[in-house]
């Protein structure tokens, strides 16, 4: 952890990036409610006064982190048609910034103040999944079920992969893809190679 007494003057953009990185680490350890501005300032090696020069509140800082995580995820994975490279790209994005990924998909949905962002993300993921799944599953409750379940299983699988030391990303992508195909097959009514019912 940086020593507050050894702070140096950084250009504004660099200082802001430093604060965002430190806040991401701090929030990922204790969550939004249990992380104070003093914790973030200490993690960044700055004073609370310097922190307030960049962010008006803890909520603004947290939302900035979540927005940045969404932007980076969209750049890396895309936002619409997910092909075979989507899972490896998702694993890559999570590996680049595990704390931000965990904040976005594990912690933020527990915080009422940020539910609008996580609900929008969930709705978008479900819509994309439904569009892709509609090519193979008839419209109806099983399509809706799979479209809602696949994004949740995918993000939970990536978090479990992060939590277990990020083993073999290529194998991880294949295993997550197999789980997704299993959900698709179940929704279509396919069992052990049978035709859909």
CATH topology for the 78-197 domain: Tetracycline Repressor; domain 2 (1.10.357)
With 0-12 / 13-18 / 19 or more C-beta atoms within 10 angstroms meaning exposed / middle / buried, residue 56 is: exposed
Domain boundaries along the sequence of the chain: 1-55, 78-197
User: Mean of the per-residue pLDDT values for the chain?
Assistant: 89
Neighbours of 166 (CB within 10 A): 14
* CB contact at 8 A, 94 and 158: yes
Query: For 105-122, what is each residue's pLDDT tens digit?
Result: 999 988 889 989 999 999
Predicted TM-score (pTM) of this structure? 0.84
pLDDT of residue 193: 52
Structure tokens at 189: 């009514």
pLDDT of residue 10: 77
Common-topology check for domains 1-55 and 78-197: no
Residue 119 CA, distance from chain mean position: 13
Distance CA 187, CA 185 (A): 5
Q: What is the mean pLDDT of residues 51-80?
A: 91
Non-local (6+) Cβ contacts of 104 within 8 A are: 66, 69, 70, 73, 118, 121
Q: What is the DSSP string of 142-179?
A: HHHHHHHHHHHHHHHHHHHHHHTT---HHHHHHHHHHH
- Among the CATH numbers 3.40.1160.10, 1.10.10.60, 3.40.50.300, 1.10.357.10, which is that of 1-55? 1.10.10.60
Percent of the chain at pLDDT above 90? 74
pLDDT band at 61 (very low <50, low <70, confident <90, very high): very high
């Amino acid at each position: 952890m940086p020593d507050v007494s050894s702070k140096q003057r950084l250009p504004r953009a660099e200082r802001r990036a430093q604060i965002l990185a430190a806040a991401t680490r701090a929030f990922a350890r204790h969550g939004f409610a249990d992380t104070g501005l003093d914790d973030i300032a200490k993690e960044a090696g700055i004073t609370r006064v310097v922190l307030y020069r960049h962010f008006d509140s803890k909520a603004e800082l947290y939302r900035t982190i979540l927005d940045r995580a969404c932007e980076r995820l969209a750049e890396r994975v895309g936002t619409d048609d997910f092909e075979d490279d989507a899972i490896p790209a998702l694993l890559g994005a999570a590996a680049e910034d595990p704390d931000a990924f965990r904040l976005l998909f594990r912690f933020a949905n527990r915080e009422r103040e940020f539910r609008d962002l996580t609900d929008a993300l969930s709705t978008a993921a479900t819509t994309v999944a439904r569009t892709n799944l509609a090519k193979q599953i008839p419209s109806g409750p099983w399509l809706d079920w799979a479209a809602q379940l696949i994004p949740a299983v995918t993000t939970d699988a990536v978090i479990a992969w992060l939590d277990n030391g990020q083993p073999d990303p290529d194998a991880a992508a294949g295993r997550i893809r197999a789980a997704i195909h299993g959900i698709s097959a179940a929704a279509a009514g396919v069992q052990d190679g049978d035709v859909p019912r």
